[in-house]
């Protein structure tokens, strides 16, 4: 049955629709992350500096994915207009997220970007976020930078143009000591560097905009990734179901859907997908035949006092009932 | 035909919306912040040219220009008060003078003018600045906070009436900022009311008033707060957050050095 028909009957949204909604979420998130609210209630933009730096940072994991050995981690070639748009939006989404956590300008932005580039280039325990492999350490750094951005923005709103200021003990209590000697400030910045307008920012509204924007972008990236995988699975499913129904069922039995991505069936055009399916089916059938042959050739007897692990495996293997094999003289299926 | 090569109308609309959203995400970053500047006079000639001259040294020379601009009912009182101030010499203590008959008349005139037109409001403010320039209100070594508090009260009443409304008026915009500046400075003088004492209530009152003028209770600043934050950011921030009014004193010493509570001496 056609995938569209199946989903419509189940009252579900198609993977293509989900992909579109996810892309729209990223777009809306990008709009919100690009805005800040001034103290007079008007809106102004956050500028292009951090967006450009975010794009550079978003490019790095993509380059790593390109040179990655794993076929599943490699970016897929978009074969439809929707897939092409999704790829573009994926890159834009990562750019928005990176620009959303970086401070918007000045030397601090370069320091943060340098740290992110170093962290991203290190090998570590990796996870997958939105289809891009990012280590847990990178996520922590991103969270720290987001906190730093909010903190310095808050400081700027308070007209405190330093990340940290503290009174010098004793000196601060002496009225004749110059004010510049009474306070030590670390991490000075200017309003222009951080894009804070002269009249100040409406802090809570601005933070709310950025928080919702980040949530939309991160949520959209996650959804886009899942919908993208589902879209590709639908394409594989449709190709398989061009076979006669009995064959299609058999192919799906030996090539389970949750392995399609790992098996490199995603990101292929129709011709490549058919070839890959045929190749994989042959490999799996040959493996099955070899297993049956080995099974029928004889199994060792198990002693009473064998370890539990041996007994478990023995029971599983003995529960298998192989089909009758044709005569082994046929050599056409023995070669991979 | 492949699954995803079929592009129905809703899909095309959806993709178009996504592209537009991406373009909008770039475009919003180009929106420039609002530039804060004094309002323009919209082509009309202002009744008073260079109104800040009325508040600076030499302003008393131009006070007479206001006579014909003040409402007929208050014109005589204004002219009398103006002449009273011109006659002041020897830098009398503000506290003593304002308790006298001429001082009481001064207060009544300033109050009446403050309730009048915008030009009359400017006249009232010019009178207050003239009073601050020609009387002694600095407490000295053993003085008290009463005199600067009295002057601060005059400014505070004026700012209560005109502070926010003046922000869209080309004639009153700059004088209002100057009034806030002087208010912060005067109240700082009241706070440091002597070498051995401080008037905490003066500071608290000033902090509360400045916070109210700047609209800092909510996060959305008032027009006056935005203008102050643009012009005197450090002074306003210190005053609102810590009650530290010294920023206003430093600014006043630069802009109105003669307004030191000792007739500029």
ipTM of the complex: 0.77
Residues of B with CB below 8 A from A270's CB? 2
Residue A140, pLDDT score: 84
Residue B24, pLDDT score: 95
**Averages of pLDDT over each 10 residues, chain B, 265 residues:** 59 91 94 80 70 87 86 90 88 89 92 91 94 88 80 93 88 93 93 76 91 72 85 85 87 91 82
Check B219 against A158: CB less than 8 A apart. Answer: no
In a 13 Å sphere around the CA of B262, the CA atoms on its Cβ side amount to: 9
**Alpha-carbon distance A72 to nearest alpha carbon in chain B (angstroms):** 21
Category of A322 on φ-ψ map: left (φ > 0), alpha (ψ -120 to 50) or beta: beta
Higher pLDDT, B96 or A299: B96
Exposed e or buried b per residue across A15-43, where buried means at least 16 C-beta atoms within 10 angstroms of its C-beta:
bbebbbbbbbbbbbbbbbbbbbbbbbeeb
Number of structural domains (chain A) is: 2
Q: Is the pLDDT of residue A185 over 80?
A: no
Same domain, A220 and A236: no
Least confident of A42-46, A60-64, A92-96: A60-64
Which backbone phi and psi does A166 adopt, to 5 degrees? Answer: -145, 150
Tell me which residue of A111, A101, A86 sits closest to A51, measured CA to CA.
A101
Range of the domain at A49: 3-174+181-225
**Alpha-carbon distance A32 to nearest alpha carbon in chain B (angstroms):** 8
* Chosen from A19, A38, A39, A229 to mutate, greatest number of chain B CBs within 10 A: A39
Q: Is the pLDDT of residue A73 over 60?
A: no
A336 domain-assigned: no
Same domain, A77 and A35: yes
| Tokens coding A138 | 């990178």
Burial bucket for residue A54 (CB in 10 Å: 0-12, 13-18, 19+): buried
Residue of chain A nearest B195, judged by CA positions: A175
Higher pLDDT, B174 or A169: B174
Same domain, A236 and A150: no
Q: How far apart are CA B111 and CA B46, in angstroms?
A: 23
Is the distance from CB of B215 to CB of B163 less than 8 angstroms? Answer: no
Q: Is the pLDDT of residue A333 over 60?
A: no
Which backbone phi and psi does A127 adopt, to 5 degrees? Answer: -130, 175
Range of the domain at B238: 51-255
Residues in Cβ contact with B261 at an 8 Å cutoff, skipping those fewer than 6 apart:
B132, B136, B137, B138, B139, B147, B148, B186, B189
Residue B144, pLDDT score: 75
Percent residues over pLDDT 90 in chain A: 23
Residue of chain A nearest B29, judged by CA positions: A45
Q: What share of chain A is helix, strand, coil (3-state, %, to 5)?
A: 60, 10, 30
In this prediction, residues A289-302 reach a mean pLDDT of 81
Residue A115, pLDDT score: 86
Residue of chain B nearest A234, judged by CA positions: B3
B261 domain-assigned: no
A273 domain-assigned: yes
Q: How far apart are CA B241 and CA B236, in angstroms?
A: 8
B161 domain-assigned: yes
B233 contact A CB<8A: yes
Residue B3, pLDDT score: 44
| Residue A284 binned pLDDT confidence (cut-offs 50, 70, 90) | very high
Number of structural domains (chain B) is: 1
* Chosen from A1, A17, A31, A207 to mutate, greatest number of chain B CBs within 10 A: A31
């Amino acid at each position: 049955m056609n995938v569209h028909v199946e989903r419509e009957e189940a009252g579900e949204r198609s993977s293509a629709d989900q992909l579109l909604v996810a892309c729209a979420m990223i777009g809306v998130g990008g709009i919100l992350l690009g805005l800040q609210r001034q103290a007079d209630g008007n809106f102004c933009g956050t500028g292009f500096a951090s967006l450009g730096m975010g794009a550079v940072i978003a490019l790095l994991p993509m380059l790593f994915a390109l040179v990655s050995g794993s076929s599943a981690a490699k970016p897929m070639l978009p074969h439809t207009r929707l897939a092409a748009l999704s790829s573009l939006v994926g890159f834009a989404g990562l750019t928005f997220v990176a620009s959303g956590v970086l401070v918007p300008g000045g030397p601090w932005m370069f320091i943060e970007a340098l740290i992110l580039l170093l962290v991203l280039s290190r090998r570590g325990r990796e996870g997958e976020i939105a289809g891009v492999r990012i280590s847990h350490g990178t996520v922590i750094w991103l969270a720290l930078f987001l906190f730093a951005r909010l903190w310095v923005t808050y400081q700027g709103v308070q007209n405190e143009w330093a990340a940290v200021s503290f009174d010098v003990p004793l000196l601060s209590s002496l009225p004749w000591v110059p004010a510049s000697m009474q306070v030590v400030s670390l991490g000075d910045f200017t309003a222009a560097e951080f894009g804070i307008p002269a009249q100040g920012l409406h802090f809570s509204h601005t933070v709310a905009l950025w928080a919702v924007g980040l949530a939309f972008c991160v949520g959209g990236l996650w959804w886009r990734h899942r919908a993208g995988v589902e879209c590709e699975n639908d394409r594989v499913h449709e190709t398989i179901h061009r076979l006669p129904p009995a064959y299609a069922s058999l192919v799906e039995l030996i090539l389970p859907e949750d392995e399609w991505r790992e098996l490199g069936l995603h990101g292929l055009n129709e011709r490549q997908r058919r070839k890959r399916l045929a190749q994989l089916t042959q490999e799996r059938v040959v493996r099955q035949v070899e297993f049956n042959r080995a099974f029928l050739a004889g199994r060792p007897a198990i002693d009473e006092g064998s370890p539990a692990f041996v007994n478990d495996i023995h029971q599983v293997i003995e529960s298998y009932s192989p089909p009758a094999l044709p005569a082994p003289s046929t050599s056409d299926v023995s070669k991979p | 035909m492949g699954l995803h090569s079929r592009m129905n109308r809703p899909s095309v609309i959806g993709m178009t919306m996504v592209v537009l959203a991406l373009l909008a995400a770039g475009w919003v970053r180009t929106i420039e912040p609002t530039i804060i500047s004094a309002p323009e006079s919209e082509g009309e000639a202002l009744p008073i040219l260079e109104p800040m001259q009325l508040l600076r040294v030499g302003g008393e020379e131009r006070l007479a220009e206001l006579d014909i601009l003040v409402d007929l009912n208050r014109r005589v009182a204004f002219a009398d008060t103006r002449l009273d101030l011109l006659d002041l010499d020897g830098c009398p203590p503000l506290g003593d003078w304002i308790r006298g008959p001429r001082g009481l008349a001064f207060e009544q005139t300033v109050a009446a003018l403050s309730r009048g037109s915008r030009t009359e409001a400017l006249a009232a403010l010019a009178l207050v600045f003239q009073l601050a320039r020609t009387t002694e209100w600095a407490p000295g070594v053993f003085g008290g906070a009463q005199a600067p508090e009295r002057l601060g009260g005059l400014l505070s009443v004026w700012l209560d009436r005109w502070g926010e409304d003046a922000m869209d008026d080309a004639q009153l915009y700059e004088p209002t900022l100057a009034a806030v500046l002087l208010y912060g400075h005067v109240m700082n003088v009241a706070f440091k009311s002597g070498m051995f004492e401080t008037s905490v209530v003066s500071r608290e009152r000033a902090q509360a008033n400045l916070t109210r003028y700047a609209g800092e209770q909510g996060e959305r600043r008032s027009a006056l707060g935005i203008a102050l934050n643009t012009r005197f950011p450090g002074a306003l921030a210190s005053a609102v957050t810590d009650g530290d009014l010294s920023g206003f004193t430093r600014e006043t010493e630069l802009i109105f050095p003669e307004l030191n509570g000792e007739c500029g001496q």
